[in-house]
Amino acid sequence: MAQGLEVALIDLQSSWNNVRHHTEEISSERLLVRRGQAFNITLYFRNRGFQPALDNLIFVVETEDAVYLDSEPQRQEYVVNDYGFIYQGNKNWIRPCPWNYGQFEENIIDICLELLDKSLHFQIDPAIDCALRGSPVYISRVVCAMINSNDDNGVLNGNWSENYFDGINPAEWTGSVAILKQWHATGCQPVRYGQCWVFAAVMCTVMRCLGIPTRVITNFDSGHDTDGNLIIDGYYDNTGRILENKKKDTVWNFHVWNECWMARKDIPPGYGGWQVLDATPQETSNGLYCCGPASVRAIKEGEVDLNYDTAFAFSMVNADCMSWLVYGGKEQKLHQDTNSVGNFISTKSIQSDERDDITENYKYPEGSPQEREVFLKALLKLKAGRSPGSHRAASQPSRPRSLSGDGPRSLDTPSLRPSDVVQVSMKFQLLDPPNMGQDIRFVLLTLNMSLQFKDLKVNLSAQSLLHDGSPLPPFWQDTAFITLSPEEAKTYPCKIPYSQYSQYLSTDKLIRISALGEEKSSPEKILVNKIITLAYPGIMINVLGEAVVNQPLSIQVIFSNPLLEPVADCELTVEGSGLFKKQQRVLIGVLKPQHRASITLETVPFKSGQRQIQANLRSNKFKDIKGYRNIYVDSRL
């Protein structure tokens, strides 16, 4: 009888397999293979050769691919691409922020696996946790909870206080690699600080590293509905100033989350594909600060009772807004707006630097019968309490009623606007681009739509906002008395000097101008507002010469102080996967008013292909002057 085979050596053919599995940038020495794709190994036997007629080898490998994308360009973009853009600003001024995801950088795969092992799920029961790691639904919830540190030693501490003295201002980050490596190097102590785009960007890095197709999504005018009634309540005083919201309902100027591609066998058929995951710690889900996966198609169709957290995701893109005037301890309903939440939902286009608008994936066109039908369906499901994915507390206060005592209006028809009752319209218009360091010049346009004379008293104000909608104290106020003849239009000019707004700006550089108008013959009041994002000139990056792997390369970075005053503590940060082994920090010191400067950095690219350089300039007056440059690195010797 033939002697049994004795295995002497197993060659995993790591280098060969990793190239075919698109993991060679992570390692050529460790076997890293993707689900659902063949790989080769070679067995060497000690005692004799393999005899096909005599010997029988059985391999059992299960690699069902629940995250398979059948488009190669999409796989390249959402799994392999290691840089991208996160969209910020406001719906009228959308700005791409370059970001280094760096999922293939040295040690990132080990840090991502360490992140899974530090989760509460693993700490409670390692065996069950590891057995469930083949489920993208499970793993995405674990990662989502671990990106923030609210329940555990997660990666990032959130901070919206404008006080970052003991950490990094979230606006200064340009990539995920430095954050993940700092978390690992400090024994998994949360990194200070992050806000929504930082949470989403780091989650994108981890999920792409783990092989799950992921993209970063920005929603402009994003609702945060704390009591689950799909109404965002906003409160104003008689100057038009927005007040701190006692219910904490807010409309974020923009909010950023992730979409991950996966099958959803845990919910009815037809709801697989892109799923919302939001690592920003806003509300709890099954006891932990995470959100999702919520099917994007379920959000569009109002199926808010499907797991996970679909009701909350729905409110972010499709809640209604109610405006209230607060005076003398009472509240007067100003207006209910059905279409202001959820605008220009954006992500980076596939294999392009352009912005892709995906709003139609989330909701039917605003004002269409389908959109209102879906809204009412979602509202009825929430009222019926059939939402296992909901994480609302039943003790939250209900929506206040107006002074007249009328209940909530029928939500399938818009309310009559106060401007329709008064027959006067108001609108703000900027006269110049709102550049940092310059005065803000604008006009209030008023139009009498009636055949009667109108006497208006208009209270104007300006205040800084944080990007999550939180107001800061007003720093500018004015009162205008405007008399309008029948069908007459007038403009009221306004100017806010830089010297007046500069000391009140938040890092987000958002200013909200408001006007609350009243006509002496009508009790109705008209509220209009406009959000302005102040812009900086960007950093210019020039590549001096041809970029070739393992050959020295010079990179010129040109930057300037846009202000009419000197700035101190200037620091330039430059990074780029495959180009720099680590983030480069250059102390600049003081920059004179409107001074332009440049530095030249030397590096040796160590990876070929399409790459991106990201740069940020900070100072004691500004934190996030950004720039980027795409670069192709040749592989030839």
Residue in this structure with the two tokens 């997660």, named with its chain if needed: 154
Q: Name the helix (H) or strand (E) containing 95.
A: strand 93-100
What string of DSSP letters covers 369-382? HHHHHHHHHHHHHH
129 is in an annotated binding site: no
- Tokens of residue 227, six digits: 């009591």
- Tokens of residue 484, six digits: 């309008």
DSSP single-letter state for residue 582? S
Q: Are 87 and 94 in contact (CB under 8 A)?
A: yes
Q: Are 327 and 237 in contact (CB under 8 A)?
A: yes
Nearest to 220 by CA among 241, 197, 194: 197
- 255 labelled catalytic: yes
User: From the candidates 278, 305, 309, 624, which is the catalytic residue?
Assistant: 278
Helix 196-209 and helix 177-185, axial crossing angle in degrees, nearest 10: 80
Cα angle at 108 between 105 and 110, to 5 degrees? 140
Side by side, the strands of the sheet bearing 214-224 are 294-295, 273-277, 250-262, 214-224, 343-348, 355-357
- 196 labelled catalytic: yes
Residue in this structure with the two tokens 């590549």, named with its chain if needed: 543
User: From the candidates 97, 188, 196, 204, which is the catalytic residue?
Assistant: 196
Report the C-alpha gap between 494 and 428 in whole angstroms: 10
25 is in an annotated binding site: no
* 3-class DSSP assignment, residue 366: coil
SS (H, E, C) 143-178: HHHHHECCCCCCCEEECCCCCCCCCCCHHHCCECHH
Which runs of E-coded beta strand occur in 278-423? 294-295, 320-327, 330-337, 343-348, 355-357
Q: Are 347 and 215 in contact (CB under 8 A)?
A: yes
Cα angle at 503 between 498 and 507, to 5 degrees? 100
Q: Are 594 and 563 in contact (CB under 8 A)?
A: yes
92 is in an annotated binding site: no
62 is in an annotated binding site: no
Report the C-alpha gap between 585 and 4 in whole angstroms: 61
- 467 labelled catalytic: no
User: From the candidates 21, 121, 224, 255, which is the catalytic residue?
Assistant: 255
Catalytic residues, which ones?
Answer: 196, 255, 278
Residue ranges of the annotated binding site are: 318, 320, 366, 371
- Residue ranges for the known binding site for Ca(2+) are 318, 320, 366, 371
